[in-house]
Amino acid sequence: MFHLVTLTTDFGDGSCYVAAMKGVLLGVCPAANIIDLSHRIPPQDLRYAAYFLLAAVPYFPPGTLHVVVVDPGVGSERGILYVEAAGQRLLAPDNGCWTLLVDEANPPARVIRLTEPQYWRPQVSNTFHGRDIFAPVAGHLLNGADPAALGEPVAEWRTLALPRPTITDTELSGEVVFIDDFGNLLTNIPGEALLKWADRPVRITAGAHVISRRVRTYAEADSGALVGLISSMNTVEIAVVQGSAARILGAKIGWPVQVRADFLR
């Protein structure tokens, strides 16, 4: 029996709602090993949640159950899905937040829409399905419940997609898709694309700012330097060494980023 379950919500650290979810989950499965991933997803920010899951979920052992409650549609007709994808298992609202984990080449192995209330709390509130549906279903899954018993298989679901970068022989164009707690700017431009110019100077722009220094690692440049590098997610990252690029540049999600081989320089 595999008792590992992670929680990702936008409820806030130390929220009584997270506490109640843990109580319900442990009530159904006292052997659950609950791992907090984050309760600081910005409220109802599905894109942030999607990128967060992409950065965290693939590192877990296969079969881990990930409960994701970022759910602006709670109480509406939006479904709640059990998903098997990328070797992982998820419970998430049908709002696309998990869909960066899959693509056409790697579709989910199974998607089931929860319909069977015998796996839920007897009274389901209109505003807190995390406690009343997600948590007890997670407990039953950890206890070995057959996912097929939870509801109906579905072939359609809502999707989110990261904006696609544009990659040519001389220019990589994308945008800032995530800002981490250090203030580093993560883009959607694949790091591999930058590697083809490994031996040439490049010119990186982010918003109206020019980043002329490219490094392999933060420690290569002095404190305060504005640098471009390949992130731990294998994408182009813009950082201020031992500082916050987000704060210093005033950067935001969606900022355009360009990388150009500076052949003339």
* Binding residues vs a copy of itself (CB under 8 A): 2, 4, 6, 8, 11-17, 19-24, 26-27, 30, 33-41, 43-44, 51-52, 55-61, 64, 72-76, 78, 125-128, 131-132, 180-182, 216-220, 229-232, 234, 237, 242
**DSSP type of residue 131:** I
**What is the DSSP track for 51-117?**
HHHHHHGGGSPTT-EEEEE--TTTTSS--EEEEEETTEEEEEESSSTTGGG-BTTB--SEEEEE--G
**DSSP type of residue 23:** H
Nearest CB to a copy of itself, comparing residues 36 and 103: 36
- Smallest gap, in angstroms, from Cβ of residue 112 to a copy of itself? 22
Nearest CB to a copy of itself, comparing residues 16 and 105: 16
- Smallest gap, in angstroms, from Cβ of residue 243 to a copy of itself? 9
- Smallest gap, in angstroms, from Cβ of residue 208 to a copy of itself? 25
Beta strand pairing call for 65-69 and 4-9: parallel
CA 86/CA 130 separation, integer angstroms: 23
CA 167/CA 163 separation, integer angstroms: 13
- Smallest gap, in angstroms, from Cβ of residue 213 to a copy of itself? 15
- Smallest gap, in angstroms, from Cβ of residue 188 to a copy of itself? 15
Nearest CB to a copy of itself, comparing residues 22 and 113: 22
* Phi and psi at residue 112, to the nearest 5°: -125, 130
- Smallest gap, in angstroms, from Cβ of residue 168 to a copy of itself? 26
The DSSP element (H or E) to which 46 belongs, if any, is: helix 46-56
Nearest CB to a copy of itself, comparing residues 123 and 168: 123
Both tokens of 1, joined, read 């029996």
Nearest CB to a copy of itself, comparing residues 166 and 232: 232
* Contact present, 114 and 81 (Cβ < 8 Å): yes
Nearest CB to a copy of itself, comparing residues 153 and 236: 236
